[in-house]
């Protein structure tokens, strides 16, 4: 067709506006809603569990001591506070130990079935575990506590860490690389928001099992399926026992080939994993510590602790959903010394006029990105994650400072202030996920996310055991506040370790095991051929 004055100079210069249903109900938003729903149902149980543990430990104490006489709270004794801390720590350790094993199981399910049905399996089995908790509360006393502790083993096949791994894996597959860290943060924020509202309704245990089932149905109907090409590749990958231990192989040191042909070994993943372990080890006990400290020192009950933890989770959720993505976007621009996110990702790129709908950007932080325009296998990887590592380091510095000053709290409102300030040091977990998915090849993202979640779970297992004992020891001496100072010291150690975590050299190429093996075989064949020709 001949051109005239009405012919546009640039075809497709104006992008087609997507229907609202494709934006509001897109895969990214459906994943965020799934995280909110599951965290909401789980959050309902957290505050009541701490409270009923205190009541059951109180009953156990008076079963072999004289009955309480006089005014005040019969359970307000140092022996009961120490016993509650001990039992709650054992519960946390068993939960975290089950979560570590659950990551291997859920990772296997993801490769075998895809995110949708893996999510259904995790949520359904969580419902079974919560029903056993209701049974433990009904029985009460030492037997009730024992029921709680033993039935946490159900978490090996279905637990909170498993469903979070499923959702993070779904995000890594449908979201464009440059937006991955921000959406990891939004997902974590959605989980925190769900936890906050769950804490507000934490007095009714009986309703949990009724709410759990709709979460499983939602996942079966609305979570996005794994892309077909990745599904076939992962089904081949699950053959053999090595599939269970693939996450461990991700964080070991890897070799990289430099531009000049030299080969080096990079220990960035090791130090990153160790730094996150120490960071979670230091700060992971903080929410429980705030509740235990407020209960023992200021007489906080289930309602006050519910508001305390709800406010903490709500602020954390709002920070991760609204502020964290903007910090990541603006921080990458500042850190790379560029004026736009695209220049940060592609240094030296010339400005050009957009000619296709996918070339137009939405405002940063205003929309949850959905499927990438191109296949994740061929799309350019994100190169702005150096700031993400910078953010992880300094957020832990802020966390250690806030935790240190929380130890000087001598009034109830100061505990609320600490719970208000701590969320602003969050964001390290989603930022680390962004860093790790950049450090590893796309085909290993499921294993990489499993690895970092496994590190976090192992740290939670350790901190709930060790710091639970520390708090119990300090509580018996009437100085539970000293636990905060121990937390802060460990956080600083984590910061030092994170500064040792570095990216591989620029323009270097990772040498995978299969590639290295193939190179050795080729070298041996050449050597054999040369020896044969010389003979």
Measured CA to CA, the distance from residue 481 to residue 404 in angstroms comes to 10
- CB neighbour list of residue 251: distance below 8 Å, 6 or more residues apart: 269, 270, 272, 273, 451, 452, 455
pLDDT level of residue 485 (50, 70, 90 thresholds)? very high
Structural domains in the chain (count): 2
Give the tokens for residue 301. 């009950």
pLDDT at 13: 43
At 453, which CATH number?
Answer: 1.20.1250.20
For residue 510, give the 3-state DSSP assignment: strand
Q: Are 159 and 99 spatial neighbours (Cβ–Cβ below 8 Å)? A: yes
Residues 6 or more apart from 56 whose CB is under 8 A from it? 140, 141, 142, 144, 145
> Taking the CA of residue 130 as centre, how many other CA atoms within 13 Å lie in the half-sphere pointing to its CB?
26
- Give me the mean pLDDT over the 203-228 stretch: 48
Sign of CA dihedral 96, 97, 103, 106: negative
Confidence of residue 507 (pLDDT cuts 50, 70, 90): confident
Q: How far apart are CA 41 and CA 217, in angstroms?
A: 14
What is residue 482's predicted lDDT score, i.e. its pLDDT? 92
Structure-block tokens of residue 398: 């802020």
CB-based contact 415:409 (threshold 8 Å): yes
- Residue 12's region, left for phi above 0, alpha for psi from -120 to 50, else beta, is left
**SS3 assignment for 351-375:** CCCCCCHHHCCCCCCCCCCCCCCCC
Query: Which positions ≥6 away from 295 have C-beta within 8 Å?
Result: 50, 54, 81, 301, 305
Q: Which helix (H) or strand (E) holds 516?
A: helix 513-534
- Decide if pLDDT at 354 tops 60: no
Asked whether residue 208 carries a pLDDT value surpassing 50, the answer given is no
Q: Are residues 182 and 297 in the same domain?
A: no
Least confident of 112-116, 180-184, 323-327, 470-474: 112-116
Give the pLDDT confidence score for residue 472 in this predicted structure: 83
Of residues 316 and 374, more confidently modeled: 316
* Band of residue 114 on the pLDDT scale cut at 50, 70, 90: confident
Task: Say what the pLDDT of residue 527 is.
Answer: 61
Please indicate, yes or no, if residue 236 is contained in any of the structural domains: no
401 and 482 fall within a common domain: yes
pLDDT 10s digits, 237-266 = 555 556 556 777 788 888 888 888 888 888
> Which residues partner with 390 through β-bridges?
none
- SS3 of 30-69: HHHHHHHHHHHHHHHHHHHHHHHHHHHHHHHHHHCCCCCC
Q: Mean per-residue pLDDT for 428-433?
A: 85
Residue 156, domain extent: 26-65+74-212
The two structure tokens encoding residue 411: 């009034």
Which stretch, 264-268, 465-469, 514-518, has highest mean pLDDT?
A: 264-268
pLDDT at 355: 47
- Considering the domain boundaries, does residue 535 fall inside one? no
**433 in a domain, yes or no?**
yes
37 and 110 inside one domain: yes
- Gap between the Cα atoms of 369 and 414, Å rounded: 39
Task: Please report the pLDDT score of residue 141 as a whole number.
Answer: 82
Domain co-membership, 315 together with 412: yes
Q: Average pLDDT for residues 192-214, to the nearest whole number?
A: 56
Residue 347 domain flag: no
Query: Among residues 194, 212, 230, which one ends one of the domains?
Result: 212
Q: Do both 191 and 253 map to the same domain?
A: no
**Is residue 233 in a domain?**
no
> What φ, ψ does residue 127 adopt, rounded to 5°?
-60, -40
Domain match, 262 and 313 both: yes
- C-alpha span between 133 and 138 (Å, rounded): 9
> How many C-alpha atoms does 276 have within 13 Å on its Cβ side?
28
Give the C-alpha separation, 532 to 535, whole Å.
5
Q: Are 101 and 183 in the same domain?
A: yes
In a shared domain, residues 160 and 260: no
Is residue 19 exposed (0-12), middle (13-18) or buried (19+ Cβ within 10 Å)? Answer: exposed
Q: What is the torsional sign of CA 393, 399, 404, 405?
A: positive
- The Cα–Cα gap between 196 and 29 comes to 19
Residue 292 and residue 412 share a domain: yes
Q: 135: left (phi > 0), else alpha (psi -120 to 50), else beta? A: alpha
Give the residue from 227, 178, 166, 173 showing the smallest Cα distance to 376: 173
Q: Pick the closest to residue 435 from 172, 190, 231 (CA basis).
A: 172
Residue 12 located in a structural domain: no
Question: What's 43's domain CATH number?
Answer: 1.20.1250
Helix (H) or strand (E) holding 213: helix 208-222
Are residues 109 and 199 located together in one domain of the fold? yes
515 contact partners, CB below 8 Å, separation of at least 6: none
Query: Which two structure tokens, joined as six digits, stand for 504?
Result: 């591989």
**Boundary (domain end) residue, out of 168, 194, 212:** 212
Q: Are residues 205 and 251 in the same domain?
A: no
Sorting pLDDT into bands at 50, 70 and 90, what band is 195?
Answer: confident
Q: In which residue are the tokens 């979460």 written?
A: 215
pTM assigned to the model = 0.69
Separation in Å, CA 392 to CA 276, 406, 432? 9, 21, 7
- The pLDDT of residue 391: 92
Average pLDDT over residues 394-401: 89
Mean pLDDT of the chain: 74
What pLDDT score was predicted for residue 484? 92
pLDDT score of 513: 57
Burial of 17 (C-beta count, 10 Å sphere; 0-12/13-18/19+) = exposed
Residue 357 within any structural domain of the chain: no
% of the chain at pLDDT higher than 90: 6
Between residues 200 and 277, the one the model is more confident about: 277
Give Cα separations from 318 to 68, 187, 419 (angstroms): 44, 11, 14
Residue 345 pLDDT > 60, yes or no?
A: no
Same domain for 101 and 191, yes or no, is yes
Residue 261 lies in a domain: yes
pLDDT at 30: 82
Which of 197-201, 382-386, 431-435 is predicted with the least confidence, judged by mean pLDDT? 382-386
Residue, of 176 and 486, whose pLDDT is higher: 486
Would residue 51 be called left, alpha or beta, if left means φ above 0 and alpha means ψ between -120 and 50 degrees?
alpha
Residue with tokens 């307000």: 76
Whether 168 and 449 have beta carbons less than 8 Å apart is answered as yes
Weakest-pLDDT range from 18-32, 372-386, 453-467? 372-386
Does 512 have pLDDT greater than 80?
A: no
């Amino acid at each position: 067709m001949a051109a005239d004055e009405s012919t546009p100079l640039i075809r497709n210069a104006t992008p087609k506006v997507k229907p609202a249903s494709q934006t509001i109900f897109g895969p990214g938003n459906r994943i965020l809603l799934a995280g909110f729903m599951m965290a909401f149902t789980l959050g309902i149980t957290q505050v009541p569990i701490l409270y009923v543990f205190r009541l059951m430990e109180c009953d156990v104490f008076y079963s072999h001591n004289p009955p309480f006489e006089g005014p005040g709270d019969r359970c307000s004794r140092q022996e009961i506070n120490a016993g509650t801390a001990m039992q709650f720590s054992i519960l946390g350790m068993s939960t975290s130990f089950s979560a570590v094993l659950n990551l291997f199981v859920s990772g296997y399910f993801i490769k075998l079935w895809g995110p949708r049905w893996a999510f259904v399996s995790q949520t359904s089995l969580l419902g079974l575990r919560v029903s056993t908790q209701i049974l433990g509360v009904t029985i009460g006393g030492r037997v009730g506590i024992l029921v709680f502790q033993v039935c946490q083993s159900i978490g090996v096949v279905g637990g909170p860490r498993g469903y979070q791994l499923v959702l993070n894996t779904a995000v890594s597959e449908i979201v464009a690389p440059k937006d991955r860290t921000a959406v990891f943060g939004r997902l974590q924020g959605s989980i925190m928001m769900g936890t906050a509202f769950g804490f507000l309704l934490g007095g009714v245990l009986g309703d949990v099992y009724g709410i759990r089932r709709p979460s499983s149905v939602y996942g079966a109907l609305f979570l996005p399926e794994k892309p077909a090409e990745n599904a076939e590749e992962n089904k081949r990958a699950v053959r053999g026992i090595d599939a269970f231990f693939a996450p461990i192989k991700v964080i070991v040191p890897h070799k990289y080939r430099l531009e000049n042909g030299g080969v080096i070994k990079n220990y960035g993943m090791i130090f990153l994993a160790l730094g996150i372990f120490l960071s979670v080890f230091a700060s992971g006990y903080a929410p429980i510590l705030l509740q235990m400290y407020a209960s023992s020192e200021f007489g906080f009950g289930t309602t006050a602790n519910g508001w305390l933890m709800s406010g903490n989770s709500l602020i954390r959720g709002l920070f991760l959903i609204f502020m964290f993505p903007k910090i990541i976007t603006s921080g990458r621009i500042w850190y790379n010394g560029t004026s736009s996110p695209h220049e940060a990702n592609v240094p030296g790129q010339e400005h050009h006029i957009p000619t296709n709908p996918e070339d137009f950007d939405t405002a940063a932080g205003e929309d949850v990105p959905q499927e990438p325009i191109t296949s994740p296998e061929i799309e350019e990887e994100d190169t702005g994650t150096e700031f993400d590592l910078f953010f992880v380091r300094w957020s832990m510095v802020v966390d250690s400072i806030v935790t240190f000053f929380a130890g000087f709290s001598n009034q109830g409102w100061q505990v609320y202030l600490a719970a208000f300030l701590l969320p602003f040091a969050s964001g390290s977990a989603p930022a680390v996920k962004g860093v790790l998915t950049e450090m590893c090849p796309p085909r290993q993202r499921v294993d990489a996310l499993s690895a970092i979640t496994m590190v976090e779970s192992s740290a939670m297992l350790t901190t709930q055991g060790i710091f639970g004992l520390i708090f119990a020891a300090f509580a018996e001496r009437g100085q539970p506040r000293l636990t905060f100072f121990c937390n802060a010291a460990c956080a600083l150690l984590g910061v030092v370790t994170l500064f040792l975590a570095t990216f591989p050299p620029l323009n270097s190429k990772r040498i995978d095991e299969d590639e290295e093996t193939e190179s050795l075989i080729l070298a041996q064949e050449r050597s054999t051929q040369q020896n044969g020709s010389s003979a």
